[in-house]
Amino acid sequence: MLKRIRYAALGACFWLAGCAIHPLPEDSTGLSTFQIVRQIRCETRQAIIESALDWLSTSSDPAARRLGQEFRDGIRPVQSFHYNLFRGDVRKILQLFFDTGVAYNYSLEMTEVNNVGAGINLLQPFTNASGTLGLSASADRQRQNLRTFTITDAFSKLIRSIDRGYCADQVVGENYAYPISGRIGMKSVVKDFIDLTLFANLGGPADKVKGPPTLVDALDFQTTLSVSAFPKIVFSPVGRGLSVLDASANGTASRKDVHRVIVGLALPETGLPAALDFRRTLVGPLLTARGDPSELVAANAVNQVLTRQVLRPVINITP
């Protein structure tokens, strides 16, 4: 009987946590690391396209409005979008943002705890009193995994170089249980970066005020789930010998996911020869991020936030 209630407690706990030896995002979110990255890249791509087309729809240039509507209606494939299709100030503004760099720094931390215990109380009858002897045992287990890496993109690459099938059905709605597995609000990031650059004199990184405009958002999502079970059986003693008074089992399990995404946007350092020789260590030798100058500047902007958070070295940037 004790085995049955112990198994019941174990079953409730294992149902929640899954007893993963190597905790991964898919254990809780249902999405692999690759799928999470793809969703956020595709959301960013859609945000860039929608921001451009929304702006073109308000342009005073009839030709620009017509071209924007053709892209929106699918008459022209989005992959063919380029500032050379436009003229005048419209072309200049599109060209300004066309090669904006994007850097995403991911920190996916998963912690799983499984605690199991059992107890039994033994009854020994005496002439004028009764005494009990309690026995208990427990097993506590915890597993933790921290996965961190950096991805870089550019507005032009996201628009023109991503195959249509890559983002099919990837831009989904918000997920309030596990926000990183749903829409995280990249459209507001893109729109604010463009508006601040054009209308609010947005500057460069903190250590390079005269550099190209940069913007960094640090998103921190934390979800904790827990469950516990405490079944107990009480026996009616029979006879005068040592007998079982009651038996119990308990189990607790929890899963804590801390998902962090730091997104940086930066304009290219057009006209700055030093951009070609740009080489800067973000945080150590574990990973390397490579890309165009604007992508590297975006990653450098992300580094400003990482430095403030005093994170240990994990990433290098090499042109």
For range 57-69, the mean pLDDT: 94
Summarize pLDDT for 169-186 with one digit per residue, the tens: 877 888 888 888 889 999
Opening angle at CA 313, ends 281 and 113, nearest 5? 150
pLDDT tens for each residue of 141-168: 778 888 899 999 999 999 999 887 898 8
- Residue 18 has a CB neighbour count (10 Å cut-off) of 15
**What confidence tens digit (pLDDT) does each residue in 92-119 have?**
888 888 999 999 999 999 888 877 666 6
DSSP 313: P
User: Any idea which of 22-31, 85-94, 152-161 has the lowest mean pLDDT?
Assistant: 22-31
Q: What pLDDT score does 1 carry? A: 45
Q: How far apart are CA 72 and CA 202, in angstroms?
A: 29
What region does 244 belong to: left with phi over 0, alpha with psi -120 to 50, or beta?
A: beta
Instruction: Give the number of other Cβ atoms within 10 Å of residue 85's Cβ.
Output: 16
Distance, in Å, from the CA atom of 112 to the CA atom of 136, rounded to the nearest integer, reads: 24
* Structural domain contains residue 198: yes
State which of 129-143, 175-189, 223-237, 285-299 shows the largest mean pLDDT.
175-189
Q: What is the pLDDT of residue 278?
A: 28
The total of structural domains in the chain comes to 1
- Is residue 175 situated within a structural domain? yes
C-alpha 315/C-alpha 309 separation (Å) is 15
* Both structure tokens of 277: 């020789």
Domain for residue 234, yes or no?
Answer: no
Compute the distance between CA of residue 56 and CA of residue 40 in angstroms, rounded to an integer.
Answer: 24
Mean pLDDT of 135-142: 63
Residue 197: pLDDT band by 50, 70, 90 thresholds? confident
Considering 206-220, 232-246, 280-294, 301-315, the range whose residues carry the highest mean pLDDT is: 206-220
Q: Is the dihedral angle over the CA atoms 47, 49, 52, 58 positive or is it negative?
A: negative
Would you say 43 and 162 are in contact if contact means Cβ atoms under 8 Å apart?
Answer: no
Q: Mean pLDDT across the chain, nearest whole number?
A: 74
Quote the CA–CA distance of 173 and 181 in Å, as a whole number.
9
- Reference 182, options 138, 235, 219; nearest CA is 219
In a domain, 262, yes or no: yes
Domain annotation covers residue 265: yes
Q: Does 104 reside within a domain?
A: yes
- Whether residue 236 is contained in a domain is answered as no
Amino acid residing at 191:
K
For residues 156 and 99, what is the distance between their CA atoms, to the nearest angstrom?
A: 5
Report the run of H or E that residue 68 belongs to, with start and end.
helix 62-73
Domain that holds residue 13: 2-111+146-226+257-317
* Under 8 Å between Cβ of 68 and 61: no
Split at pLDDT 50, 70, 90, the class of 51 is: very high
User: For position 102, what pLDDT does the model report?
Assistant: 94
The predicted structure's pLDDT at residue 187 = 93
Give domain status of residue 203, yes or no: yes
89-98 contacts at long range (C-beta below 8 A, 24 or more positions apart): 90/56, 90/59, 90/61, 90/64, 93/198, 94/52, 96/197, 96/267, 97/155, 97/194, 97/197, 97/267, 98/155, 98/156
The 3-class secondary structure across 260-298, one letter per residue, is EEEEEEECCCCCCHHHCCCCEEEECCCEEECCCHHHHHH
- Structure letter (DSSP) for residue 235: -
Q: How far apart are CA 198 and CA 192, in angstroms?
A: 10
Residue count of the chain: 319
Looking at residue 117, what is its pLDDT?
Answer: 64
φ, ψ for residue 92, nearest 5 deg = -60, -40
DSSP string, 152-213: EEEHHHHHHTS-GGGGTTT-----SSSGGGS---HHHHHHHHHHHHHHS-----TT-TTS--
- Give the pTM: 0.71
